Copies of this chain bind each other. A is one copy, B any other.
């Protein structure tokens, strides 16, 4: 590959426009930026020359004049996750409604990529940021603090951050998980697999250890596991650490972890899954062992997707108001851009909705095939 060639100028410079128009640079800048003292005749002349030369008023030039670029930066943990794709759609529609463009970056759940993404979006002069952070409770949040110090507002979505308070839009993860697990318990299930829990080197030994692991987890992960623990406690069921995965979060790992649970002396008779990849990985483990849902094993999980109701059986799912999360975040951010820092922070919690279909069944008294 040859060395980098200098790119042809993207559009004529202000100096070139000035030369062609026979006026000074300041006059060109004032005419293009529509500020300061320039006669209408001169302004018209400069604009005509600029148009003839193909001068393009770029967003930076606009921002130098007005202080705003009408662009929002969006940092998502994983755009390939249908949840974030739905959030993005809602966000994009709402931003457009208000005349804002959006720039999107996906971090693959890597904090290092998030830091780079935030830096890039600041470089691109966004007016504000919407962030679904990959940071856990123990991570360094200096990159977000730096954004605030520059006066650029941030709205957090999907995940709160213990060390960084900002406007936020999340769902009621803990209550939604509690309700879902309670549904499984009401159907007679007492051994309920949780896919997936926080990533740890080895399972937490007991409830206390699990609670301390939770303190270092991604907020939404932690909340869903807390909801699971709540439901068990409500029903006086004992927590069994071997029923919670502690793996790297990939579909393949979910399959492996669930296969391990199914090989226990007392395997789970139901699973609660916390996102799409976890659900698919769990279904694959059931298929590999020729277990049928819901005849042999019940399943209930996040997130509802178009596929869920054409499955056999149609899957009962917790549906997040994805588009609403995105739309509200855009609205809050734009309000903050216009309104400044004086208004109190807004924390919105949108309710998830359980959609019952056909994947939960009353527990059979017989043992599972092994």
A-B CB proximity, top 3 nearest: A312-B312, A8-B151, A80-B85
Residue of B nearest to A251 (CB): B306
- Also in contact, A8 and B150, with CB within 8 A (given A102-B105, A284-B310): yes
Question: Does A283 make an interface contact (CB < 8 A)?
Answer: yes
Q: What would be 25 A-B contacts, judged by CB atoms less than 8 Å apart?
A: A1-B339, A2-B340, A3-B338, A5-B338, A6-B67, A7-B68, A7-B152, A56-B123, A58-B125, A59-B120, A59-B124, A79-B79, A80-B89, A85-B85, A88-B106, A89-B108, A92-B106, A101-B116, A103-B103, A103-B120, A103-B124, A280-B310, A310-B311, A311-B312, A312-B312
Total contacting residues, chain A, CB less than 8 A? 64
Q: A68 CB to closest chain B CB, in angstroms? A: 6
Instruction: Please measure, in the bound complex, the distance between the C-alpha atom of A88 and the C-alpha atom of B80, giving whole angstroms.
Output: 8
- Among the interface residues A2, A71, A89, A123, which one has the most CB atoms of the partner chain B within 10 A? A123
Which residues of B are found within 8 Å of A3, using beta-carbon distances?
A: 338
Instruction: Please measure, in the bound complex, the distance between the C-alpha atom of A92 and the C-alpha atom of B3, giving whole angstroms.
Output: 22
Instruction: Please measure, in the bound complex, the distance between the C-alpha atom of A102 and the C-alpha atom of B149, giving whole angstroms.
Output: 25
Question: Does A277 make an interface contact (CB < 8 A)?
Answer: yes
Question: Does A321 make an interface contact (CB < 8 A)?
Answer: no
Chain A, 327-349, CB within 8 A of any chain B CB:
335, 337-340
A 148-173 to B, binary, CB cutoff 8 A, 1 in contact else 0: 01111000000000000000000000
Pair B122/A124 contact, Cβ less than 8 Å: no
Question: Does A127 make an interface contact (CB < 8 A)?
Answer: yes
- Among the interface residues A66, A106, A335, which one has the most CB atoms of the partner chain B within 10 A? A106
Q: A344 CB to closest chain B CB, in angstroms? A: 15
Of B4, B8, B103, B104, which one neighbours A338 at CB under 8 angstroms?
A: B4
Pair B92/A10 contact, Cβ less than 8 Å: no
| Chain A interface, >50% SS class | mixed
Pair A58/B123 contact, Cβ less than 8 Å: yes
Of B8, B67, B89, which one neighbours A7 at CB under 8 angstroms?
A: B67
Instruction: Please measure, in the bound complex, the distance between the C-alpha atom of A105 and the C-alpha atom of B73, giving whole angstroms.
Output: 11
Question: Does A188 make an interface contact (CB < 8 A)?
Answer: no
Instruction: Please measure, in the bound complex, the distance between the C-alpha atom of A337 and the C-alpha atom of B149, giving whole angstroms.
Output: 35
Q: A192 CB to closest chain B CB, in angstroms? A: 20
Pair A79/B68 contact, Cβ less than 8 Å: no
Pair B71/A79 contact, Cβ less than 8 Å: no
Question: Does A287 make an interface contact (CB < 8 A)?
Answer: yes
Residue of B nearest to A57 (CB): B123
Question: Does A309 make an interface contact (CB < 8 A)?
Answer: yes
Instruction: Please measure, in the bound complex, the distance between the C-alpha atom of A284 and the C-alpha atom of B89, giving whole angstroms.
Output: 23
Which residues of B are found within 8 Å of A310, using beta-carbon distances?
A: 280, 283-284, 287, 311
